Amino acid sequence: MKRHSRPNATGNRRAASRANRARRTARWAHRGSEVLEAALVFPILIALAFGTIEFGYWFYLEHNLQAAAAAGARAGIPSGLGTDTRLDLATEEAERVMANSGFDNTADFDVDSEIKTINGTDYLEVQVSASWSKLGVKTVGFVRSDKIAGKATMRVEP
């Protein structure tokens, strides 16, 4: 006695195998469109990733320049110092902070210190600036400005 398998939902095996082949073909066709979609989206995702890195490094540099300016101003405000000594201390401290941040070459950034008198009170202003083309990383080119600066002003103690 020959044993027959049960008929499936389509009624016979031949119809079932045709349906399975049709499903496999449909899956294969979808795979091609998925690869095409990935190829179209991938460059956009890469640009976003590198743009994020570029902006992150911009803010990192800006933070370091601001910290160096604040440290320089803080170093130059104690009482009992002469004007030249104040300016030298401010510049040296700003350069030290930049060196500790990994920017050892003083040719890559500028430190400008000056004493300003406003309403009879002396203020020490320190500005640390750099060029993005010297210190930055250009990946995608989202950052258009070339100048980055940090500035701090503190009252000189009498």
| Residue 3, domain member (yes or no) | no
| Residue 65, domain member (yes or no) | yes
Between the CA atoms of 33, 34, 37 and 39, what dihedral angle is there, to the nearest 10 degrees?
Answer: -110
Owning domain of residue 144: 13-155
Who's near 86: CB < 8 A, 6+ residues apart? Answer: 76, 77, 113, 115, 124, 156
pTM: 0.74
Distances (CA, A) of 83 to 42, 72, 103, 125: 58, 14, 27, 12
At 20-77, the pLDDT tens digits run: 776 766 666 666 788 888 899 999 999 999 989 998 999 999 999 999 999 999 999 9
At 111-128, the pLDDT tens digits run: 999 999 999 999 999 999
Q: What are phi and psi of 111, to 5 degrees?
A: -120, 120
Report which secondary-structure segment, H or E, holds 31: helix 13-75
Number of domains present in the structure of the chain: 1
Q: How far, in Å, CA of 54 to CA of 59, rounded?
A: 9
pLDDT of residue 112: 97
Sign of dihedral through CA atoms 100, 157, 88, 120? positive
Amino acid at 37: E
| Residue 123, domain member (yes or no) | yes
Q: How far, in Å, CA of 132 to CA of 54, rounded?
A: 11
Are the CB atoms for 106 and 95 separated by under 8 Å?
Answer: yes
